[in-house]
Amino acid sequence: MSTQAFHSIGIIGKYGDPEVAATMLHLSKFLRDRGCAVYLEATTAKYLAVHGMHVATMPEIAQACDLVITVGGDGTLLNAARELVNFNVAILGINLGRLGFLVDVSPVDMQERLTEIFDGNYLEEHRMMLTSTIYHESQEPSISDAFNDVVIHKWDVARMIETETYINGRLLNRMRGDGLIVSTPTGSTAYALSGGGPIIEPDMNAIVLVPICPHSMSYRPIVVGGDSTIEILVCEGPHTKAQVTCDGQINMGLVSGDKVMIQRNPKAVRLIHPVQHDHYEILRAKLHWGEQV
């Protein structure tokens, strides 16, 4: 009986980027040589010759695979995580992007790292996902997941928006500004970090709220429990028009009176890392800590 850790593998490449083709073909050959069934995501297949892989939709990959490998940057993995979180599929990232906090396998040592992982030598993390529900006055609610962050932000460049934020039904504050970032620990090194928020250990059960250019010097980021229910109300105004953006990839419109409810998704994202994975080393490398200038 085989002791191989994973057997049915989905491959998802950075959408619209033909430069990932060489890495994906190398990856596909490695997987097939290991005796794996390989499923190529249908949109990715538009930019790549199939070469013995099954072409499948994301729902088909979610049902058939025990591991999905993304080839690209963090954005490619973010999209896969939202699609797969409810199916308990593990995700591994090959880094062809720039920053790469989530995708930590380099194409240079891809085969060596994957050999270790498929032999059972790997680390697995379970990370939280947020679910945002927008309640509109005149239409059905809009729902979307977010692995990094849910951002409520202004639509017009020169206008502020006013919001009320409630934590577990209790008023936190009323704020005027450019918006509010609601982040997972994973997203604490993304937009929230740029807004002055703290870096949170990725396995913590916490949610970070970071104001975007608040019209008050006293408003600072706050960390609340990960099981909190966060409600954000877009206050009435003559020209209020805003947006909710999930992971910088999904946009939904807001108007005065709309309410955004944000909660932890009951399911967690399963991330696979090589045994050499070191979160602090990644922070030092990506944020250039300790470098002489």
- Determine whether 74 is an active site residue: yes
Which one from 33, 66, 74, 278 is the annotated catalytic residue?
A: 74
Q: Is 290 left (phi over 0), alpha (psi -120 to 50) or beta?
A: left
CA angle, 204 then 209 then 210, to 5°: 120
The set of residues, in sequence order, having a beta carbon less than 8 Å from that of 268 and lying 6+ positions away, is 85, 126, 127, 128, 129
Contact 245, 251 (CB under 8 A): yes
Task: Kindly provide the b/e burial profile for residues 221-246, where b requires at least 16 CB atoms within 10 angstroms of the residue's own CB.
Answer: bbbbebebebbbbbeeeeebebebbb
Task: Please list the active-site residues.
Answer: 74
